[in-house]
Structure 1
Amino acid sequence: MKNKIALKLSLILGCMFLLGSCANKKTIVYYQNVEDVLLKESNDNKFETRLRADDLLMIIVSAEDPEAAAPFNLMNTMTTNPNTPAASGTMTQQLYLVDGNGNIEFPVLGTIKLGGKNKEEAVSLLTKQISQYITNPIVNMRIMNFKVTVQGEVNKPGVHTINSERLTLAEAIALSGDLTVYGKRDNILLIREIDGRRVPIRVDMTKADFMVSPYYYLNQNDIVYVEPNKTKINSSVVGPNLSLAISALSLLVTVIALAVK
Structure 2
Amino acid sequence: MLNNWLKITVLALFLSACSSYKQNILFKSDQLTAPDPKKLELNSNRIIEIGDYLTLEVFTKNGEKIIDPDFQLANTNINSERLRPKLKYLVRNDGFVKAPMVGEVELQGKTLHEAEEILQKEYEKFYKNSFVNINFLNKRVIVLGSAGGQVIPLENENTTLVEVIALSGGIDNYGKGHNIRILRDNAAFVVDLTTIEGYQSGNIMMEPGDVVYIEPVRRPFSEFIRENGQVISIFTSLVSLVAVLISVR
Given the two structures, how large is their TM-score scaled by the length of structure 2? 0.53
8 Å CA contact 1:60, 1:140 repeated in 2? yes
8 Å CA contact 2:62, 2:131 repeated in 1? no
Instruction: Find the counterpart in structure 1 of residue 210 from structure 2.
Output: 222
In structure 2, C-alpha distance between the alignment counterparts of 1:181 and 1:131, rounded to whole Å: 56
Matched, 1:180 2:167: no
In structure 2, C-alpha distance between the alignment counterparts of 1:217 and 1:96, rounded to whole Å: 26
Matches within 5 A, 1:191-210: 191-192=183-184, 198-206=185-193, 207=198, 208-210=200-202
CA 179–157 in structure 1, closer or farther in 2 if over 3 Å, else same: farther
Matched, 1:48 2:45: yes
Give aligned-pair identity as a percent: 27
Matches within 5 A, 1:93-242: 93-154=86-147, 156-161=148-153, 163-192=155-184, 198-206=185-193, 207=198, 208-211=200-203, 216-228=204-216, 232-233=217-218, 235-236=219-220, 240=224
Q: Residue 224 of structure 1: CA displacement?
A: 1.4
In structure 2, C-alpha distance between the alignment counterparts of 1:188 and 1:53, rounded to whole Å: 30
Q: Residue 163 of structure 1: CA displacement?
A: 4.7
In structure 2, C-alpha distance between the alignment counterparts of 1:96 and 1:55, rounded to whole Å: 8
Amino acid at match of 1:236: P
Write out the 4+ residue segments of structure 1 that deviate beyond 6 Å after TM superposition: none
8 Å CA contact 2:61, 2:131 repeated in 1? no
8 Å CA contact 2:62, 2:130 repeated in 1? no
In structure 2, C-alpha distance between the alignment counterparts of 1:107 and 1:90, rounded to whole Å: 17
Q: Residue 151 of structure 1: CA displacement?
A: 0.5
Amino acid at match of 1:226: I
- Aligned Cα root-mean-square deviation (Å): 3.4
Aligned length: 165
8 Å CA contact 2:47, 2:109 repeated in 1? yes
CA 227–98 in structure 1, closer or farther in 2 if over 3 Å, else same: same
In structure 2, C-alpha distance between the alignment counterparts of 1:99 and 1:133, rounded to whole Å: 25
In structure 2, C-alpha distance between the alignment counterparts of 1:160 and 1:148, rounded to whole Å: 5
Q: Once the two structures are superposed, what CA deviation does each residue of 1:145-171 show, in whole Å capped at 9, x if it has no partner?
A: 3332210123x5322346545432211
